[in-house]
């Protein structure tokens, strides 16, 4: 994979292997709607990204931050979401464990489903892995339906193809969840 620098100002597009082939892309989605000890969800997400490297995860591209109402209960605090493409030597299970350690360090509590959270890290895709990988379903089974995932992904890798079919740029237009999601204006 080739690398690209991250940028706090907005998305950085990526050309994973130099000729536009995104088949090896490892994609992680980030979300926060409980700032916890941080001054804002944005600060929490930036701090989480900074922690990736210590877990053997290098960010090669990142989207801008997107905001959306909480789902399924819009009365919960709004979410801030983004997507990154990473490079790592971890296999999918080791990567999930590393992401779990980062969530735990940020105070993630798993109380009830869809409860507000200080940090939510989801493995969206691991290359072309597809199906049940020893208890880990890849790609993420609901990612293609979520604008707060496909929108940010389409910013940085519009040509990425979901293993189940469809490019990120097309899937972002056909999502059914989080339709109010939009890039955060600075």
Residues serving a catalytic function are 108, 117, 120, 122
Q: Tell me the sheet residues that pair with 126.
A: 26
3-state SS track over the chain: CCCCCCCCCCCCCCCCCCCCCCCCCEEEEEEECCCCCCCCHHHHHHHHHHHHHHHCEEEEEECCCEEECCCCCCCCCCEEEEEEEEEECCCHHHHHHHHHHHHHHCCCCCCCCCCCCCCEEEEEEECCCCEEECCEEECCCCHHHEHHHHHHHHHHCCCCECCCCCEHHHHHHHCCECCCCEECCC
Residues in the chain: 186
């Amino acid at each position: 994979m080739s690398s690209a620098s991250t940028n706090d100002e907005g998305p950085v597009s990526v050309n994973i292997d130099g000729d536009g082939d995104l088949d090896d892309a490892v994609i992680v989605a980030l979300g926060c709607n409980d700032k916890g000890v941080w001054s804002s969800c944005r600060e929490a997400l930036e701090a989480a990204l900074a922690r990736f490297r210590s877990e053997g995860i290098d960010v090669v591209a990142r989207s801008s931050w997107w905001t959306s109402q909480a789902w399924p209960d819009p009365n919960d605090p709004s979410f801030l979401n983004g997507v990154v493409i990473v490079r790592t030597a971890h296999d999918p299970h080791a990567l999930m464990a590393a992401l779990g350690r980062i969530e735990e360090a940020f105070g993630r509590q798993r109380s009830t489903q869809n409860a507000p959270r200080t940090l939510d890290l989801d493995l969206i895709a691991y290359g072309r892995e597809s199906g049940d990988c020893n208890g880990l379903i890849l790609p993420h089974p609901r990612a293609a339906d979520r604008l707060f995932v496909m929108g940010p992904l389409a910013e940085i890798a519009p040509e990425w193809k979901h293993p189940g079919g469809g490019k990120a740029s097309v899937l972002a237009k056909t999502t059914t969840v989080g339709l109010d999601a939009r890039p955060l204006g600075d």
